[in-house]
Chain A
Amino acid sequence: MNSKGSPLDPESLTELALHDDAGSLRNVCDESDLSELAELKAFVSACREAAAAGTADSALADQMLSVAQSEDLSWRGDLRLLGGFVRDGLRSSALLRLAAASLLLHIAAVPVLAFFVFTGEPALPEFRVELGDRELPYALPDSSHSDDRSEVEVVEQEALNTLLVENTLRWSRWQVSITEHLREEVSLGAPVWLLERAGILWGSARDEGLAPLEISNHTSAAFIRAESALDEFLTLGPAAREKSKLALRDVLQFVGSPEAPATWLALSSIARAESYGVVHPEAAEVLKLARSSMPAGHRYRALLEVDGDLRRRMPIDPLWVAALAELDPTSTPGTWLKSFEEITELGAR
C-alpha cells in the first residue's frame, strides 16, 4: 500500500505502464492510480517515439556489414581477438601489467631451477653462525640484586663445543658429497697411503735420532684401522661412531710405548678422533696429559693440537712432510711445508 492508501506501490505502477503483461495489477488500481497510470503510459510512449526518430543510413549499414562479414571466423581470428583482449586488459590495468611481468619472470626462472635440480648440486649444509658473545635470551637482573644470580642460566662450554663439531662435520660431509663424482677418476686408496705413511714415519723417526722402529704388521694394522674408521665417520656420520671408538681402543695401547713413532701416531689418531667428538674418556685423558707435558715449541706439537675442527695440518703435518722429503731427495721438508701451508691457508680463506 502506498502513502496515498492505494494498494499499488509506485514501482508496480511504473511496471504496469511499461508492460501490458502486468495487467493483473490493473485490477487493484484505484481511480488515482488509473490517472497516474495514464500519465505514465503517455510519458513512456513519448519517450519511445522520440527514441525511434531517425532512419538508417544505408551506406553506413553496408560498410558495417562488410566489416562484419570479412571477419576471420577460424582459430586465427579467435587468436587475434584474444590478443586484442589481452592487449586492452594490459593497457587498462597497471596491476595486471605487474602480474604479467611477475608471471614472465617466474616462467623465465623455470629453466634455471631445472638446471640446478637436474645437475644434482647438493644443497649447502645448514650452518649456525654465532659470532662473539651470545645474546642472552633473557634480561639480566639488576646487579644490585645479587640474590637473584642463582636464577641466571649458565651457557655451558660443552654446548658450544658440540655446535662447533656439528658444524664441522656438516661442512666436511658436504665437501665429500660434492666431490662424489671424482670417485671414479681418483682412487683414494686410503689404507694404502696410511700404510705407506706408517712405514715412512719410521724413517722420519730415525732422522730425529730415535731408535729405528720395526713397525710390525700388527701395529700398522691398528693405525690403518683407526684412520679408516675415522674416514668412515667423516663420510657416514654417527653410523660409524662405534666402529671408530673400537678402533681407537686398539690404538690407545701404543701410547707411552718405547716405540716413540708409534706413540706419536697413536696420539695423533686420538687427537683427530677428539676433533670429531668420538673419543672416549680414557683416550681423552691420555691426550690431555700428553698436551700438558709437551713443551710449547715442540716440533710434533701440531700433531696433538685441535685447531677449530680438523687439525690444521692433518694429514699434511710436519712429520708427513718430512717423510715425503725422504722419499724425494730433490725436495726439502721446508719447501714441502711451505707449499702445503700455502694450500691450507688458501683453504682457510
Chain B
Amino acid sequence: MKKSWDGEQDPLAALAAGDPELFEAFVRTEMVTLLGFFRRLGGSQDEIEDLVQDTIVKLFRSANMYSSSDRFEAYVFRAARNVWIDSRRRAGVRGAVAPKADDDGADFMPNVEGGEPEPFEQIEAMERSEILMRAVQRLDDAHRIVFELGVIQGLSYSEVSDIAGVPVGTIKSRVHNAVRKLRDMLDLEGLS
C-alpha cells in the first residue's frame, strides 16, 4: 500500500467511531493499489473496477464488526481476496474468465496531474507494470495470490497464510517458487 493505515490512521476504526474522512482518504489513495492487485490477478477493466467496488462496499459494511486488533492492511487484502474468489466462482459457471495478459491497459493509464512524474517516466513505469502484470498472470492461481500478497504487498508469511488458508510452510515454498519463476520470466523481459 502507498502508506501505513494502522494505529490511529485505521480507516475502519475511525468509520466505526463515526468519522468517515479517513475511509474516504483510504479509498482515494489506495484505489490504485486495489486496481493493480485485481489487475494482476486477472480480468477485464470493467471486472476489475467491479471487484474494487465490491471490496470497498464490503469494507464499508464491515466497519461495525471490525476489530482494530487486526492489521488493517491484512484485513483489506483478506476482503479483496474473498471478493476475487467469489468472482472466480461466479465466472466458473458462466465460463472461466482467463487473465487478459494482452489487455493494453489503456483505462489504467495514469492521469497526468501536477506534481506527478514526467510523461516519459510515466510511460516507462507503465511499461514495467505491464511486463510484471503479464508475467504474474502466467503463474497459476495459488502462486499468483501468494506472490501478490507476500512479495508485492509485503504481507508477512503468517498473514498470507491466514488469508490464503494454507500453512506457513506452504506459503514459504510457494513464494520461493513464484519468485524463481518470475525471475526467469522477467530476466527475458529485462525487468529484473
Expressed in whole angstroms, the Cα–Cα distance for A61 and B33 within the complex equals 12
**Closest chain B residue, CB of each to CB of A19:** B156
**Closest chain A residue, CB of each to CB of B132:** A50
Q: Mark the stretch among A36-44, A127-135, A213-221, A321-329 that contacts chain B.
A: A36-44
Residues of B within 8 A of A (CB): 2, 20, 24, 27-29, 31-33, 35-36, 40, 49, 52-53, 56-57, 59-61, 64, 86, 89-90, 92-93, 108, 110-111, 113, 116, 122, 125-126, 128-129, 131-132, 150-152, 154, 156-157, 172-173, 175-176, 179-180, 182-183, 186, 191-192
Pairwise interchain contact A47-B182, C-beta atoms closer than 8 A? yes
| A181 contacts across to B, CB distance below 8 A | none
Q: From DSSP, what is the main secondary structure of chain B's interface residues?
A: helix
15 additional contacts (CB under 8 A) given A14-B179, A55-B111, A55-B113? A11-B176, A12-B172, A15-B172, A47-B151, A47-B182, A48-B151, A49-B125, A50-B131, A53-B126, A54-B126, A61-B31, A65-B56, A67-B53, A67-B56, A71-B57
| B92 contacts across to A, CB distance below 8 A | 92
Minimum CB–CB distance for A90 against chain B, Å: 10
Pairwise interchain contact A53-B125, C-beta atoms closer than 8 A? yes
Minimum CB–CB distance for A51 against chain B, Å: 5
Task: List 24 contacting pairs A-B, 8 Å CB cutoff, sorted by A.
Answer: A11-B176, A15-B172, A18-B154, A19-B154, A43-B179, A46-B192, A47-B152, A47-B191, A48-B154, A49-B125, A52-B2, A53-B36, A53-B129, A54-B32, A54-B125, A56-B111, A60-B49, A64-B56, A67-B57, A68-B53, A69-B20, A73-B61, A77-B61, A92-B93
| B31 contacts across to A, CB distance below 8 A | 56-57, 60-61, 64
Minimum CB–CB distance for A93 against chain B, Å: 8
**Closest chain B residue, CB of each to CB of A17:** B179
How many residues of chain A get a CB closer than 8 Å to chain B's CBs? 39
Pairwise interchain contact A56-B182, C-beta atoms closer than 8 A? no
Pairwise interchain contact A49-B192, C-beta atoms closer than 8 A? no
Would A71 and B60 be within 8 Å (CB), given that A43-B183, A47-B182, A92-B92 are in contact? yes
Expressed in whole angstroms, the Cα–Cα distance for A56 and B128 within the complex equals 18
| B29 contacts across to A, CB distance below 8 A | 56
| B40 contacts across to A, CB distance below 8 A | 51
Pairwise interchain contact B151-A44, C-beta atoms closer than 8 A? yes
Residues of A within 8 A of B (CB): 10-12, 14-15, 18-19, 21, 40, 42-44, 46-58, 60-61, 64-65, 67-69, 71, 73, 77, 81, 88, 91-92
Pairwise interchain contact B151-A56, C-beta atoms closer than 8 A? no
Would A50 and B93 be within 8 Å (CB), given that A55-B116, A60-B49 are in contact? no
| A15 contacts across to B, CB distance below 8 A | 157, 172, 175
**Closest chain B residue, CB of each to CB of A42:** B192
Pairwise interchain contact A11-B172, C-beta atoms closer than 8 A? yes
**Closest chain A residue, CB of each to CB of B112:** A55
Minimum CB–CB distance for B25 against chain A, Å: 10
Expressed in whole angstroms, the Cα–Cα distance for A42 and B179 within the complex equals 12
Would A53 and B110 be within 8 Å (CB), given that A18-B150, A43-B186 are in contact? yes
| A10 contacts across to B, CB distance below 8 A | 176, 180
| B173 contacts across to A, CB distance below 8 A | 11
Expressed in whole angstroms, the Cα–Cα distance for A81 and B29 within the complex equals 27
Pairwise interchain contact A65-B24, C-beta atoms closer than 8 A? yes
Minimum CB–CB distance for B59 against chain A, Å: 8
Pairwise interchain contact B125-A64, C-beta atoms closer than 8 A? no
Interface centre among B129, B150, B179, B183 (most CB of A within 10 A): B179
Would A68 and B125 be within 8 Å (CB), given that A15-B175, A55-B111, A56-B32 are in contact? no
Expressed in whole angstroms, the Cα–Cα distance for A187 and B9 within the complex equals 90
Pairwise interchain contact B129-A68, C-beta atoms closer than 8 A? no
Minimum CB–CB distance for B29 against chain A, Å: 7
**Closest chain A residue, CB of each to CB of B148:** A51
Pairwise interchain contact B129-A51, C-beta atoms closer than 8 A? yes
Pairwise interchain contact A18-B57, C-beta atoms closer than 8 A? no
| A68 contacts across to B, CB distance below 8 A | 27, 53, 56-57, 59-60
